[in-house]
Structure 1
Amino acid sequence: MRTKLLLSAALSAMLVFPIVSNAKTINGEKLAEEQVFTYRLLDDIKSFDPQINTDIEGSGVIRDLFEGLMNEDAKGGLVPGTAKGYSVSEDKLTYTFNLRDAKWSNGESVTAHDFVYAWRRLVDPKTASEYAWYMELMGVKNATKVVKGEVAPDQLGVRAVDDKTFEVTLEKAIPYFASMTVHSSTFPVLKSVVEKHGAGWTKPENIVGNGAYILSEYRSGEKVVRERNVNYWNNENTIIDKTVALVINDENQALTRYLAGEVDKTNIPSGQYPRLSKEYPGQAVSNPYSCSYIYWFNVGEKGPESLKDVRVRKALSYAINREVITDRILQGGQYQSYNFAHQKTAGFELPEIDYAGWTQKERDDKAKALLAEAGYGPDNPLKLTLNYNTSETHKKIAIGVSQFWKKTLGVDLTLSNSEWKIHTTKQQAGEFEVSRYAWCGDYNEASTYLDLLTSYSGHNVSGYSNPEYDEIMAESKTMENPNPNYAKAEKILARDMPFAPIYQYTGAIMLQPTLRGWPVDNLMQRFYSRDLYIVEK
């Protein structure tokens, strides 16, 4: 017996799409003649390959070029994508997705075989995807065995029942499984194109996608341009004709270009939200955003001996004055953080973390005592290097932390800046001591954060491994209410301190008054260009 789901959602989703093939107005507003959306990127895109990409900005581009089984609406609700809907078996271990009549940008039909190929490709050790572990988190049958090379990729629990029916078998029931399919690593790719062009298959002249847009131009470090895919199943109700992403490392320069009308969306530079919200009411926006800003401590083989001492790691974390960072440096409504999972995550109950309730003086005093116990002081100062990627905000925070550590603990800290690609490559190789990082949720559930610190995580670059932690997170997968385990996991992280939590994000951004459809109420801040449109001034 199967439980039918999302049939009504599929119908309602179709009803809310604006019919715009000949429309001149939407909601009483006249559409601008030129439908071009331009926004700022902080860094270059690492990859346009759904199974290879690892960064948030890359995922934003990939959501335009490809489409997965399910999408999110403006409030973060689950809506049909390439799948019209799905059904779930009575034991909740088998999901059957019914695909719509969608096409690739080259005119070929999108089939269940394309999803089978992509999902197998994700876990295939030959692909060397940093997101292979994601399919393990999804609980797909045999995912772990495939990732470890114990069985062949064709043993993964996915199959094409027929061209339009994609079936997934799970090893354990995961209530939020369907929502995990909105992540770009699960998007389909066309086997014939990948195999024909190899690593070059994502070049504009080669790439074939099933999303609302095609990649028309890419200049590394400069811009990414995508234009309407006329073969997209809902192209008739897509309004934006072209989306242009400009790589602008300097956030102040990006703001200047925004104010000149050159970009429609950009991030607000640190410290400027109070002013901009007064000067540009309605354009300056700050809403909770599912990301946590942290400093990794390298406790792995390549890490310094000093950081293998938990007293040192705790001292460094305690001595960070988070109130100064959120209220004086950032000033965009960000939350001081003493745990990992974003406090606005759906269903998450923020646990009590002991040092979160201390005054900063109490934290500083404890930090001094711990560092002294570990053998560091005026005659033996702790020396470390902090890596951060290019950004004025990251630089300001790094300078602030260096001052906290110097004043409170006498730490001799060297700051090392590099571009995003180099920065993350060093992290993955374990070539760092302390390193700036931010983790943004892949789906709206606390496990998207807490699974990151398991020993089998593909993104746990710290070298941290705790069997007790792994067991707690594994057990949470089968719990009706996993929050007690999430609280235990957070307290273990506070005890072991493999990273220093610093703050939790808000989406502090500027939006041009002519832009409509930006998902400000979506905690994940996932946008799709096909949902946006420009009205006349």
Structure 2
Amino acid sequence: MTVRTTLGAASLLAMLAAGSIAQAATPQPGETLADNQTFTYRVLDEFPSIDPGLIEDVEGSHIARQLFEGLMSQDPQGNVIPGAAADYTVSEDGLTYTFTLRPEAKWSNGDPLTANDFVFAWRRAADPATASPYSWYIDLMKVANASQVVSGEVPPDQLGVRAVDDHTLEVTLSAPIPYFPQMVTHTTTFPVPQRIVEELGDAWTQPGNMVSNGAYVLSERVPQERIVMTRNPNYWDNANTVIETVTALVINDESQALTRWEADELDQTDVPIGQFPRLSEEYPEQVHTIPNLCSYYYAVNVREDANPALLDVRVREALNLAIDRDVIVNSILGAGQRPAYTLTHWATAGFEVPELPIATMTQEERNTRAQELLAEAGYGEGGEPLTFEIIFNTDQAHQQLAVAIGQMWKQTLGIETTLANQEWQTFLDTRRDGNFEIARAAWCADYNEASSFLDLLTSDNESNDPRYENPEYDALMEQSRTAEDPQPIYQQAEEMLARDLPILPIYFYAEDFLLDETIKGYPYENAQENWYAKDLYRVAQE
């Protein structure tokens, strides 16, 4: 496939005319709803934030999609559908989007949802005073003046978004982005209630304080234990919502989570590393594996003050070559993952993985070349010994992979490794501050397009933890914004990353999880695995 999957105004209007106005939990013929309409799932770590303007992780985004609703949402196939906006139009030059909000949309306190709530949220996310870890996303969307607002050069009220009236939001772009409608399904673009935020400050996200516009409201939060959300009676489509309560339980141990799933305390949990074959036989109807637009990699610190050995691209290439990805995906993970030699996931819409030399070599050839490169750099056998620290957030799978990769580096290159696991928020801070040598990392697409991966390593992206800075790479990604066919540019960008290696790609995710068979409506075909509890329902057991 060589075309991008986007939803233009014409196709949206056609979809509206056909009646696809919103997703809803719709039992199929022969299904009987259960009396118990709850959904309980497991998460690995405590949520750093559930404030849409401050969220930076996948699990926080899952919470935000239940509590809030953006201009656009996604259907079970990942297609863009109306959310808080009933429809939109786009100017002929692609620079002006005009969204019409649903007049029936309200906040959970009964106040009407207005276009100004989006204006406030977007300005707040871009404002340096907010210190949003995703402020760069507003700039990435090419909202007019976003770059200047994010950098503090101009005030937030100069951002190219305005309320024409209470139900009309106008967004002006500095350059046309054909996939812009996909971008406004992201949590950073969700509305927030200005009066509540300004009155309560950071406390606005606490139970009893939080006012939201999604299908659910926050009813309980116990740090390091759980978040509970209950149906929002003021949600505009509450009549078509079935699940009454959504609970996210924080369970750091995968094996413990599995035990609790088997005891019917959880409806969903991840398959523990290495257990997919066994569990597939034991629970064939409840084990699932689906492509998921996330890439797992090691970030290498290439800041000027980093370990000098890691600043030598020959060392980074040797490390990259010596990772036996086939062993990792087949023998350690074994649940449908694929070896990765690029950052962009193979299942990304329209993306064609470039033919990189490393991908066609045997592992023996890779190891031989890795040894040659390390020797050229003055390390390895007969040279200076090397020891690197790998940091990762606490998780059994991350630890097993770090141990395995450390063994590969030792066996092939004589490199020693030390391992350091950290609590999630500490780990994020450590990685962002550059206090690491090699760090476990993963990136999940914010929208289904290759730029969502590749923009990560542009110089001004705040999530560029290796701090890779290459003006040539930045120029390529800027060129892709307005290219009629950006795919060749994306391939060139991947080739540049494969040359410079600020990251070591390891594998492409496949989401493998256990889901109680009574839960229906899960979006198995959504490659981003963006799920909405309002689309789920539980059926009665026979």
In the TM superposition, what are the counterparts of 1:19-38 in structure 2 within 5 Å? 26-38=28-40
Work out which of the residue numbers 20, 24, 27 in structure 2 matches 1:13. Answer: 20
Pairing 1:140–2:157 present: no
From 275, 279, 287, the counterpart of 2:278: 275
d(CA) in 1 for partners of 2:494, 2:172:
30
Write the letter of the residue equivalent to 1:94.
T
- Cα distance between partner residues in 2 of 1:423 and 1:151: 33
Counterpart position of 1:22: none
Per the normalisation by structure 2, the TM-score is 0.96
Pairing 1:441–2:445 present: yes
Say if 2:536 is the partner of 1:536: no
Counterpart residue number, 1:522: 526
Q: Secondary structure at the match of 2:327?
A: helix
**1:365-394 Cα distance to aligned partner (Å, 9 max, x none):** 111111111111245211111001111110
Whether contact under 8 Å (1:300, 1:462) holds in the other structure is yes
Tell me the equivalent position of 1:477.
Answer: 481
Write the distance in 2 (CA, Å) between the matches of 1:503 and 1:263: 28
Q: 1:475 to 1:15 in 2, by over 3 A?
A: closer
Matches of 2:90 and 2:475 in 1, distance apart?
27
Amino acid at match of 1:328: S
How far the C-alpha of 1:407 sits from its partner, in A, is 0.6
Q: Residue 421 of structure 1 is aligned with which of 413, 422, 425?
A: 425
CA distance in 2, matches of 1:85, 1:508: 35
Q: Which string of whole-angstrom CA distances, capped at 9 and with x for unpartnered residues, describes residues 199-258 of structure 1?
A: 111011211100100110111111110000110000011000000111111111111111
Contact 1:7 1:84 in 2 (8 A): no
Whether 1:46 and 2:52 are equivalent positions in the alignment is: no
Structure 2: how far apart are the matches of 1:13 and 1:156? 32
Secondary structure at the counterpart of residue 126 of structure 1: helix
Q: Percent identity?
A: 52
Aligned residues: 531
1:503 partnered with 2:507:
yes
Q: Distance in 2 between matches of 1:13 and 1:35?
A: 25
Structure 2 contact 220–227 (Cα < 8 Å) conserved: yes
- The amino acid that maps onto 1:335 is R
Counterpart of 1:512 in structure 2 is 516
Ranges in structure 1 where 5+ consecutive residues have no aligned partner: 20-24
Select the residue among 206, 210, 215 that pairs with 2:213: 210
User: What amino acid maps onto 1:318 in structure 2?
Assistant: L
Tell me if the contact between 1:5 and 1:85 (Cα under 8 Å) persists in the aligned partners.
no
- Partner Cα distance (2:495, 2:9) in 1: 38
Distance apart, 1:4 and its partner CA = 5.2
Contact 1:302 1:430 survives alignment (8 Å): no
Change (3 A) 1:16 1:52: closer
Aligned pair partner of 1:119 in 116, 119, 122:
122
Instruction: State how 1:108-507 maps to structure 2 within 5 Å.
Output: 108-378=111-381, 379-507=383-511
Separation of aligned partners in 2, 1:299 and 1:126: 28
Shift of 1:10: 3.4
Partner Cα separation in structure 2 for residue 203 and residue 302 of structure 1? 40
RMSD over equivalenced CA pairs, Å: 1.3
What is the match of residue 87 of structure 1?
89
Consecutive unaligned residues of structure 2, counting only runs of 5 or more, are: 1-7
Q: Cα distance, 1:15 vs. partner?
A: 7.2
What does the per-residue CA deviation read over 1:50-78, in whole Å, with 9 as the maximum and x for residues that have no partner?
Answer: 01010000000010111100000001011
TM-score under structure 1 normalisation?
Answer: 0.97
Q: Deviations over 1:342-387 (max 9, x none)?
A: 0000000111111111110111111111111111124521111100
Q: CA deviation at 1:282?
A: 1.9
Matches of 1:157 and 1:16, distance apart in 2? 30
- Name the CA distance, whole Å, in 1 between partners of 2:231 and 2:311: 52
Q: Is the 8 A contact 1:4 1:88 kept in 2?
A: no
Judged with a 3 Å threshold, the aligned counterparts in structure 2 of structure 1 residues 30 and 424 are, in CA distance, closer, same or farther, namely same
